[in-house]
Amino acid sequence: MRPADLNLMKSLALAAVTALLLAQTPAAEARRGFRQTAPFKISSLGTAFGVQVEVEGTYFVTDHYVDVDVERARIYVSEHCPYKGRRLVNTIAVGLATAVPRGGWHIENRGLPVFVEQVLAPREEYRLADLHFRIPRDAAADIEQRWLVVETEETDIDAPEDEDGGKGYAFAHSCRNLFAYPCGGSRQ
């Protein structure tokens, strides 16, 4: 074989290997085709939390992320709480929760928080719209065993110095089987 023919064969072989490495498998393309956005509504209104939320939007699950688009969010400070002062609502975030032994749960991963930075007194509310959260996830983890959790971080700003006050968190959950059977407005 001539050197020019040998170089051509090496180039073609290298191109074929590169194409195989970069190409998506048909199964991966088929899985991607079945993914659709799904609506959700999460609410903690009427619960014991001092800061309560109602969030509506859509989510989209990929192998490595859950993309959450919040169309509208309402943050409300309850008057039915022992602490009656103002609260600085610092951030809002959406995460993936999973069950732990004895019926508990923990947030496995969160999207980056959105800064709210609003001072609200009891019975006041603040509205947000068009928020996006990208929650990282392990592709090997069973998404049907996870659910969405909305987390707000707040600071009690009128608490007397001798009382336990300071920073706190409030949570609102979707139903626990959200990714297996979308549940719309359930809370748990």
Task: Give per-residue pLDDT as tens, 53-74.
Answer: 999 999 999 999 999 999 999 9
Average pLDDT for residues 13-36, to the nearest whole number?
48
Q: Which of 106, 114, 105 is nearest to 55 (CA)?
A: 114
Query: What's the pLDDT score for residue 1?
Result: 65
Average pLDDT for residues 97-125, to the nearest whole number?
95
Name the pLDDT band for 134 (thresholds 50, 70, 90).
very high
Query: What's the pLDDT score for residue 24?
Result: 44
For residues 9 and 28, the model is more confident at 9
Query: What's the pLDDT score for residue 188?
Result: 42
pTM for this model (two decimals): 0.76
Distances (CA, A) of 121 to 43, 47, 82, 90, 126: 20, 17, 13, 14, 11
Contacts of 56 (CB under 8 A, 6+ apart): 39, 40, 41, 42, 70, 71, 72, 73
Q: Rounded to 10 degrees, what is the CA torsion of 165, 100, 112, 151? A: -40
- Whose tokens are 């008057």? That residue is 79
Distances (CA, A) of 37 to 40, 62, 131, 136, 182: 10, 10, 15, 17, 11
Q: Which of 111, 98, 118 is nearest to 176 (CA)?
A: 98
Average pLDDT for residues 90-95, to the nearest whole number?
98
Query: What's the pLDDT score for residue 76?
Result: 98
